[in-house]
Amino acid sequence: MTGRVLREASRVELALLLREPVALVFALALPVVNVVVLGAVFGDQPDPTEDVFRGVSGSTYYTPAYMSLVAAAVGLIVTPTQLAGYRERGVLRRIRASGLPVSAVLVSQVVVGLVLAVVGAALVLAVSFASNEPDVPADVFGVLVAFLLGTVALTLLGLVLGALLPTARAAQGAGVMLWFVVLILGGAGPPPDVLPDAMGVVGTFTPLRPLVIALQDPWFGNGWNVVQLLVLLGLGVASGAVAAVRLRR
Amino acid sequence: MTSRNTPPGPAAGVRGTGRARRAGARVVGGIGTSPEKRNHVVASTPDLPVSVRGLRKSYGSVHAVRDVSFDVAPGEIVGILGPNGCGKTTTVECLQGLRRPDAGEIAVLGLDPRTQATALRRRIGSQLQDSALPDRIRVHEAIRLFGSVGSSPVPVDRLLDDWGLTAKRRAAFGSLSGGQRQRLFVALALVNSPELVFLDEMTTGLDPAARRETWRLLERVRDLGTAVVLVTHFMDEAERLCDRLVVMLEGEVIETGTPAELIRRHGGGITATFTADGVEVGLVSGLPGVRSVRRRAGSLEVSGEPEALLHLGHALVGAGSLPSDLRVRQPSLEDAFFTLVGEGSRGRPGDGAGSGDPGSEGWATAGTREGVA
């Protein structure tokens, strides 16, 4: 029975998402804009000093970083806006009162977030490889695992934001701001190695940094970065627990 | 005061018709549920739909509900009446397991909402106050989603047809009118063939036509034999729809009974007014049941118990006086209600459409006036 609810809820959530142009712009278009802009600036130029772009070309450095931006847009903007809007308008109350498990609605947010992130990442990859010549990933499976884990973790973080922020407008405003902050500090804008020290330190505490590194390491042939994957796992578990407690009632 | 109550006939007539239809419908089953299933459900649940004793709930230092006890019998529509802030919504939210009461014995369909809320919610339907749907969800999607929790939801097409939403099947929730939204909410509350339905202020904010439409829907719900708990502050709605009323004031139940019982107990009797040239006050003032007689501008105004009317007519005919303008004002539920909760509740600011009309009947009559208009 719960499976049927989850399937139905996911289908509805996906339909709602497709009718929500703002969410699509953030998740699908903004990262692609970054691909185009940063791709045009740095292109395929090799790393000037071997420690700016972690020893790879600009386009190779940025392509996995752009993927992380998609996950960040889903987790910081799309999911919180949707959930805060539900709470604001009493949708969750209605769902709870009708016997639909609220957990099904929450899990469907994660399911839909994953779908959206995969589509967004595919767009980013397509545009990146079309406009430049980044290296292909050394370990495709490793990149995939990092991306899926990171997206789920960030979407769960999005549930927490959606449970804390009072309205959809507040969630969207805060989400966009956060997205730009983690973009700049997290490693998807200026490479961390060229950030001033203080900013670099702050950047390590953004939820984006572990995902950027966990994507880049297998891509560049450095193997899986287990530490960063564990950080993402921890972020996901902690966020999921907080969201469950906050939204259980 | 008088105009809204002058034609009591139609209201009574409508109510009678509703009851008759309902009695017939119960035999054959009803819309949206097969007779076999309905019978089965009723037979397997000997518990009262609702039984509450000593319910209490505070929010910090605010005692929203102090002491609430009442029952709802199978197939009954019970209205909860009371001024804003008297604890109506808190009470029904506790019954649905949406709030945790501080004290009290509660059984809803034989289940305890505190510990068995999940099982309970699958057997009840809910229309909550201040609770919407996402603007972009479509009507058929909402019905399918809300039906996915039940083991055998009413088919989407049939529910759409039953509630006049077929043409709106693919419409977004945000594009629906107030009346259409209420129809959708009622449809969602009924999609899993509940044994008990909670409806909280479902006509607040609707225009007169939409209110009437919603009433017809509710009459159809009770035709299914489903027990209904209706929270309202519209007297005409309560009088027309409810079998029994629970009147609340400041977190407590102060009276229960059928609308007719409440009117009889607290309505304050009838008033007859007629042109009385040549009729002496003394002729009528001593009649059985007459409480007071007043002469004003050529008319007599006679107030008293309901039986005073027949004695008055008899006396007038005996005296050879046949006034052509005899008007009788029957006490309404509203009169009874205000006697119960105190005149202080009349015309309270911010309580509804009546507030713009000082000195008239106040908020609770807004619906009456709209309904007549």
Contact list, B175 vs chain A (CB under 8 Å): none
B322 with B341, same domain?
A: no
Q: What is the pLDDT of residue B3?
A: 41
Contact list, B145 vs chain A (CB under 8 Å): 8-9, 12, 100
Q: Are B302 and B308 in contact (CB under 8 A)?
A: yes
Q: What is the pLDDT of residue B9?
A: 37
How far apart are the CA of A246 and the nearest CA of chain B, in angstroms?
A: 15
B20 with B132, same domain?
A: yes
Find the residue in B nearest to A94 (Cα).
B131
Q: Is the pLDDT of residue B211 over 50?
A: yes
Contact list, B148 vs chain A (CB under 8 Å): 4-5, 7-9, 100
Q: What is the pLDDT of residue B283?
A: 83
B172 with B287, same domain?
A: no
The alpha carbon of residue B324 and the mean position of all alpha carbons in its chain are separated, in whole angstroms, by 36
Query: Is some CB atom of chain A closer than 8 A to the CB atom of B136?
Result: yes
| A96/B121 Cβ within 8 A | yes
Q: Is the pLDDT of residue B251 over 70?
A: yes
Contact list, A100 vs chain B (CB under 8 Å): 145-146, 148-149
Q: Can you read off the two tokens belonging to residue B148?
A: 């996915």
Contact list, A5 vs chain B (CB under 8 Å): 148-149
Span B9-32, pLDDT tens digits: 333 333 333 333 333 333 333 344
Q: Are A92 and B130 in contact (CB under 8 A)?
A: no
Q: How many other C-beta atoms are found inside a 10 Å radius of the C-beta of residue B148?
A: 23
Average pLDDT over residues B145-152: 86
pTM, whole model, 2 decimals? Answer: 0.77
| A9/B148 Cβ within 8 A | yes
How many whole angstroms separate alpha carbon B77 and alpha carbon B230?
7
The alpha carbon of residue B60 and the mean position of all alpha carbons in its chain are separated, in whole angstroms, by 30
How many whole angstroms separate alpha carbon B285 and alpha carbon B291?
8
The conformation of residue B30, written as its DSSP 8-state character, comes to B
More confident residue, B283 or B79: B79
Q: Can you read off the two tokens belonging to residue B292?
A: 């007071």
| A16/B136 Cβ within 8 A | yes
B161 with B114, same domain?
A: yes
Q: What is the pLDDT of residue B343?
A: 59
Contact list, B113 vs chain A (CB under 8 Å): none
| A98/B131 Cβ within 8 A | no
Q: What pairing do the DSSP bridges indicate for beta strands B244-249 and B227-231? A: unpaired
Q: What is the pLDDT of residue A249?
A: 57
ipTM: 0.85
Q: Are A206 and A185 in contact (CB under 8 A)?
A: yes
Span A171-181, pLDDT tens digits: 999 999 999 99
Q: What is the pLDDT of residue A172?
A: 93
pLDDT above 70 covers a percentage of chain A that reads 99
Closest partner residue to A12 among B130, B145, B149, by Cβ?
Answer: B145
Find the residue in A nearest to B127 (Cα).
A94
B317 with B343, same domain?
A: no
Backbone angles phi, psi at B335, to 5 degrees: -60, -45
| A97/B98 Cβ within 8 A | yes
Backbone angles phi, psi at B51, to 5 degrees: -140, 115
Q: How confident is the model at residue B305 (pLDDT cuts 50, 70, 90)?
A: confident
More confident residue, A51 or A89: A89
Query: Which DSSP helix (H) or strand (E) runs through A66?
Result: helix A58-73
B94 with B152, same domain?
A: yes
Closest partner residue to A12 among B98, B128, B141, by Cβ?
Answer: B141
How far apart are the CA of B273 and the nearest CA of chain A, in angstroms?
A: 51
B207 with B302, same domain?
A: no
How many whole angstroms separate alpha carbon A104 and alpha carbon B119?
16
B293 with B210, same domain?
A: no
| A5/B130 Cβ within 8 A | no
B282 with B160, same domain?
A: no
| A20/B128 Cβ within 8 A | no
Query: Is some CB atom of chain B closer than 8 A to the CB atom of A1?
Result: yes
Q: Are A177 and A26 in contact (CB under 8 A)?
A: no
Q: Is the pLDDT of residue A248 over 80?
A: no
The per-residue pLDDT of chain B, averaged, comes to: 78
Domain that holds residue B349: 336-372
Backbone angles phi, psi at B351, to 5 degrees: -100, 0
Residue B173 sits in a domain of what CATH number?
Answer: 3.40.50.300
Contact list, A101 vs chain B (CB under 8 Å): 118, 149
Span A51-78, pLDDT tens digits: 778 878 888 888 999 999 999 999 999 9
Q: If contacts are CB pairs under 8 Å, which of residues 79-138 in chain A contact chain B?
A: 85-86, 89-91, 93-94, 96-101
- What is the domain count for chain B? 3
3-state secondary structure string across B318-338: HCCCCCCCCEEECCCHHHHHH
Residue at token pair 């670099």: A200
B81 with B221, same domain?
A: yes
Span B89-133, pLDDT tens digits: 899 999 998 889 999 999 999 999 999 988 898 889 988 887 889
User: Is residue B4 assigned to a domain?
Assistant: no
How many whole angstroms separate alpha carbon B118 and alpha carbon A94?
14
From A2, A4, A3, A61, select the one nearest A34 (Cα to Cα).
A61
Angle between the A140-164 and A102-131 helix axes, to the nearest 10 degrees? 130
Closest partner residue to B149 among A5, A20, A90, by Cβ?
Answer: A5
Query: Is some CB atom of chain A closer than 8 A to the CB atom of B130?
Result: yes
Backbone angles phi, psi at B229, to 5 degrees: -110, 120
How does B26-48 read in b/e, with b if 16+ C-beta sit within 10 Å? beebbbbbeeeebeebeeeeeeb
From A19, A61, A28, select the one nearest A42 (Cα to Cα).
A61
Q: Is the pLDDT of residue B36 over 70?
A: no
Contact list, B96 vs chain A (CB under 8 Å): 97
Q: How confident is the model at residue B344 (pLDDT cuts 50, 70, 90)?
A: low
Size of interface A-B (CB pairs under 8 A): 77
Span A132-184, pLDDT tens digits: 889 999 999 999 999 999 999 999 999 999 999 999 999 999 999 999 999 98
The per-residue pLDDT of chain A, averaged, comes to: 90
Of the residues B242, B263, B284, the one at which a domain ends: B263
Average pLDDT over residues A45-49: 75
- Which residue, among B140, B149, B192, would best test binding to A if mutated, counting the most A CBs under 10 Å from its CB? B149
Residue B302 sits in a domain of what CATH number?
Answer: 3.30.70.980
Span A188-227, pLDDT tens digits: 888 887 788 888 888 888 999 999 999 999 999 999 999 9
Question: What are the percentages of helix, strand and coil residues in chain B, rounded to 5?
Answer: 40, 25, 35
How many whole angstroms separate alpha carbon A147 and alpha carbon A217?
12
Segments making up each domain of chain A, as ranges: 2-248
Q: What is the pLDDT of residue B51?
A: 92
Edge-first strand listing for the sheet containing B299-304: B290-296, B299-304, B270-275, B327-329
Span B162-207, pLDDT tens digits: 888 999 999 999 999 888 888 898 889 888 889 999 998 888 777 8
Q: What pairing do the DSSP bridges indicate for beta strands B252-257 and B244-249? A: antiparallel
Q: Is the pLDDT of residue B76 over 70?
A: yes
Q: How confident is the model at residue B259 (pLDDT cuts 50, 70, 90)?
A: very high
Question: What are the percentages of helix, strand and coil residues in chain A, rounded to 5?
Answer: 80, 0, 20
User: Is residue B5 assigned to a domain?
Assistant: no
Q: Is the pLDDT of residue B365 over 50?
A: no
Average pLDDT over residues B77-92: 91
User: Is residue B9 assigned to a domain?
Assistant: no
The conformation of residue B62, written as its DSSP 8-state character, comes to E
Query: Is some CB atom of chain A closer than 8 A to the CB atom of B67?
Result: no
B284 with B356, same domain?
A: no
